């Protein structure tokens, strides 16, 4: 299993690389990596595991964050209605998005970033994501609210982008036009 020791931190060059596509059907090694990502996210939401292994809680993790520069993410998050979005994906891609924006009122955090970077991170309010599941089967997901933001944050990692890159440096809390605040 993965612990915080396996997660690389801001400043590590892998976090700034564009990750490589994973060939389909996935190899056993790539499947294993994808499983480890999801296992970390789930464990990090389990109070006992958090205490036992000193995990930092998260709702998503991308392969570059464990120093594997390949296009894989795991997302395990519930929306405001309690609906669970639990997806481990190879080669995830945003295929369409709303014009409307959204942002987390408390700002974003990242398991690879120890320092706080306060400020609003503009995201699309709604996204449609396509990718391949652990068996190499194509999946299509529509997400809004927190799950939508989580997908965008994780897919950014595959392109070497960190959340604070999106924050307005001059005015971090400048209101974002045409955007839904998410609590
Ligand atoms: Zn992150």
Name the CATH superfamily, with its identifier, for domain 4-182: Peptide deformylase (3.90.45.10)
- Which pLDDT belongs to residue 56? 98
- Which pLDDT belongs to residue 103? 98
Question: Distance from the CA of 165 to the center of ligand 1, in angstroms?
Answer: 12
- Of the residues 39, 80, 154, 177, which is catalytic? 154
29 catalytic? Reply is: no
- Which pLDDT belongs to residue 12? 98
> Domain map of the chain by residue range?
4-182
Q: Check if the beta carbon of residue 13 is closer than 8 Å to that of residue 72.
A: no
Q: Check if the beta carbon of residue 126 is closer than 8 Å to that of residue 144.
A: yes
* Runs of H (alpha helix) within the chain: 28-43, 47-53, 145-158
| 153 labeled binding residue | yes
- Which pLDDT belongs to residue 105? 96
Question: Distance from the CA of 150 to the center of ligand 1, in angstroms?
Answer: 9
Question: Distance from the CA of 108 to the center of ligand 1, in angstroms?
Answer: 9
- Which pLDDT belongs to residue 85? 98
- Which pLDDT belongs to residue 156? 99
Beta 179-182 vs 101-104: how paired, if at all? parallel
Which residues in the chain land under pLDDT 70?
A: none
- Which pLDDT belongs to residue 4? 98
In the structure, ligand 1 is a single-atom ion and the residues with CB under 5 Å from it are 110
- Plot region of 76 (φ>0 → left; ψ -120 to 50 → alpha; else → beta): beta
């Amino acid at each position: 299993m993965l612990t915080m020791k396996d997660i690389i931190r801001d400043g590590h060059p892998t976090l700034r690389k564009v990750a490589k596509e994973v060939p389909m059907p996935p190899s056993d090694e790539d499947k294993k990596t994808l499983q480890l990502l999801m296992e970390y996210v789930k464990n990090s939401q389990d109070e006992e595991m958090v205490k036992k292994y000193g995990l930092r809680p998260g709702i998503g993790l991308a392969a570059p964050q464990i120093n594997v520069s390949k296009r894989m993410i795991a997302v395990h998050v519930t929306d405001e209605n309690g609906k669970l979005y639990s997806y481990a994906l190879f080669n995830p891609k945003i295929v369409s998005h709303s014009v409307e924006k959204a942002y987390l009122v408390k700002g974003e955090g990242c398991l690879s970033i120890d320092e706080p970077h306060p400020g609003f991170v503009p995201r699309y309010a709604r996204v449609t994501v396509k990718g391949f599941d652990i068996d190499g089967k194509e999946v299509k997901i529509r997400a809004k609210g927190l799950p939508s933001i989580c997908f965008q944050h994780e897919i950014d990692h595959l392109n070497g982008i960190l959340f604070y890159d999106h924050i307005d440096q001059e005015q971090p809390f400048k209101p974002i036009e045409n955007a839904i605040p998410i609590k």
